[in-house]
Amino acid sequence: MGSAPGWDHMKAKVQVMKFGGTSVGDAACIARSAQIAAGAAKDSAVVVVVSAMSGVTNRLIDAARRAETGDRQAGAALLDTLRQQHEAVLAALVAAQEARQPVLRRLQEIFAEGQRLYDGTALLRELTPRTLDSISSLGERLSAPLFAGALAALGVRSEAVEATELIVTDAYHGGAEPRMDRTRERCEARLRPLLQTGIVPVVTGFIGATSEGVLTTLGRGGSDYSATILGAALGAGEIIIWTDVDGVLTADPRLVPEARTIPEISYREAAELAYFGAKVLHPKTLREVIPAGIPVWIRNSFAPERPGTVITREGRRIGGGVKALTAIRDVALISVGGPGIVGVPDVVGRTFSTTAELRASVLLISQSSSQNDICFIVSAADAQRTVEALRHEFAQDLAHQVVEHITVDPHIAIVAVVGERMHGTPGIAGQTFNALGRESINIIAIAQGSSETNISFVVEDQAMKAALLATHREFGLHSPLSD
Ligand code: ASP
Ligand code: MG
């Protein structure tokens, strides 16, 4: 049966692909990424999401802070540099003059808007979260028309779309949350018609707008989240995060040279890894796709022949259930205790209301059943004020030696062994601690949540690398897949 042109685009499942900062870092990178998108657009409906060119968001924010001090030059100088950079990339990507003109005009409008934002900030010497969001969004707003131009130059019909038209959020500037119902309606109204006529929308990552139309950002690194929000809104068949690494690795390769790419992991495992600082995904990325079970791929735009990692609901059983290791440094262990606290019912409660009041996020908690001691971990940046607040809270108890000590140890690291199928697999904790014992690595504290998706332990920071190497080998993570 012959089908009319466009039929495929109407029927095919949508593919959302996001290109991160390094994947759009210069003209050659954008050209390579545009080739990838053009290839995919041959047989499915594709939505592209782009980050700012790498480094741009940081520079925009730095200049905004300078403008806040009254510096009128910083913003102007940065915009000049960015103008040269983006125009040079445009010239390299789009040879035809007629095609280049409208993109150039668009870039100029955005630069003019940027100039007004910096001028206003310098004049008022005030940088509200709302203005900071508008300034930080400029990078994505510049890269989307460039990418759309690159696609057009490859003969792919495309249109740059600002996500302020698509992603409706609350008004929490700097870390806004999407309103999915409204976002779904907007995507149906604005993106679906483009997809149905075979046009590839190129959407700005990182940003959205309140229902009143005020621009917001989803938080630093939020373009991943933009991609999954749009994917969920459109009921996409898959989402591909194109980045500069091969996927999710079994461990940080700078610490564990034998680390390798994991072919498939579950949403839960990926979330554990994101939480524990494996910086592959923005921590909120999977939130909206979990209910729909949409697979999310992590792939390397610099080596598109490699398969990458797919994140799915089920994951895939590999080896003994342990998938990956992760470690966090820059944390401190705080301990509150002494024999006097045994049976004092409110010590735990007061300890954690204190951390809650400070908004210090607690990464790990461990208490032995003898109740002699509660220990927990906070980021190094929060350690000092947490200890001070605790000493204040427990001043009376310290005076009467109900609480004997409140101590802090900054020379530690957390190592986590992650794998959803560890659940109900006996022996993993034993194996972990045997391996550490063999290497004479001392364990300071241990925690395993009852979800059994991860076992975390605390070691001296000097021992972290050895702990990673020993457990990586113990669980056979270095060897080719045994699934
Ligand atoms: N450009 C934004 C940032 O650097 C968002 C992103 O790249 O994901 O935070
Ligand atoms: Mg980024």
With a cut of 60, say whether residue 11 has pLDDT above it.
no
DSSP code at position 444? -
Q: Is the pLDDT of residue 6 over 50?
A: no
Does the pLDDT value for residue 1 go beyond 80?
Answer: no
Average pLDDT value for residue range 235-263: 93
**Is residue 175 a contact partner of residue 215, using CB atoms and an 8 Å limit?**
no
Buried b (16+ CB within 10 A) or exposed e, 251-288: bbeebbeebbbbebbbbbbbbbbbebbbebbbbbbbbb
Most informative mutation of 22, 133, 223 for ligand 1 (most atoms within 8 A of CB) = 223
Best CA proximity match to 223, nearest among 148, 144, 160: 144
What pLDDT sits at residue 370?
Answer: 64
Q: What are the pLDDT digits (tens) for 406-461? A: 999 999 999 999 988 787 778 888 999 999 999 999 999 888 766 678 899 999 99
Tell the residue number behind the tokens 């040279």, with chain if given: 257
Q: Is 25 in the pocket of ligand 1 (CB under 6 A)?
A: no
204 lines ligand 1 (CB under 6 A): no
Q: What is the pLDDT of residue 9?
A: 46
Per-residue pLDDT of 137-195, as tens digits, reads 999 999 999 999 999 999 999 999 999 999 999 999 999 999 999 999 999 999 999 99
Give the amino acid at 353.
S
Residues 101-144 pLDDT 10s: 999 999 999 999 999 999 999 999 999 999 999 999 999 999 99
Confidence check: pLDDT of 320 > 80: no
**Residue pLDDT, tens place only, 384-405:** 999 999 999 999 989 988 888 9
Q: What local confidence, expressed as pLDDT, does residue 447 receive?
A: 86
Tokens of 329: 């440094």
Checking if the pLDDT of 274 tops 90, the result is no
- Mutational test site, ligand 1, from 50, 57, 226, 285, max ligand atoms within 8 Å of CB: 57
Residue with tokens 């060897």: 479
DSSP per position, 216-252: EE--TTTHHHHHHHHHHHHT-SEEEEEESSSS-BSS-
pLDDT of 288 strictly over 70: yes
Nearest Cα residue to atom 8 of ligand 1 = 221
- Which has more confidence, 482 or 427? 427
In the structure, what pLDDT confidence band is assigned to residue 12 with cuts at 50, 70 and 90? low
- Looking at residue 46, its pLDDT comes to 98
- Nearest protein CA to atom 2 of ligand 1, as residue: 221
222 lines ligand 1 (CB under 6 A): yes
Question: How much distance in Å is there from the Cα of 48 to the middle of ligand 1?
Answer: 15
Neighbour count for residue 337 (Cβ, 10 Å): 22
Q: Are 455 and 321 in contact (CB under 8 A)?
A: no
Going by pLDDT thresholds of 50, 70 and 90, the confidence category of residue 319 is: low
| Smallest CA separation from ligand 1 atom 5, residue | 221
**Pocket flag, ligand 1, residue 21 (CB < 6 Å):** yes
- How many CB atoms within 10 Å of residue 229? 33
| Alpha carbon distance 406, 398 (integer Å) | 9
Q: Please state, for a pLDDT cut of 90, what percent of the chain lies above it.
A: 76
Give 4's pLDDT tier (boundaries 50, 70, 90). Answer: very low
Q: Which residue has the higher pLDDT, 366 or 482?
A: 366
Q: What is the pLDDT of residues 196-208, one digit of tens each?
A: 999 999 999 999 9
Would you say residue 277 has pLDDT above 90?
A: no
| Cα end-to-end distance, the chain, whole Å | 41
What domains are defined for the chain? 11-244 (3.40.1160.10), 324-474 (3.30.2130.10)
Which pTM value belongs to this model?
A: 0.86
Residue nearest to atom 6 of ligand 1 (CA): 221
Q: Is the dihedral of CA 223, 224, 227, 233 positive or negative?
A: negative
What is d(CA 469, CA 475) in angstroms, rounded to the nearest whole number? 10
Higher local confidence (pLDDT), 350 or 479: 350
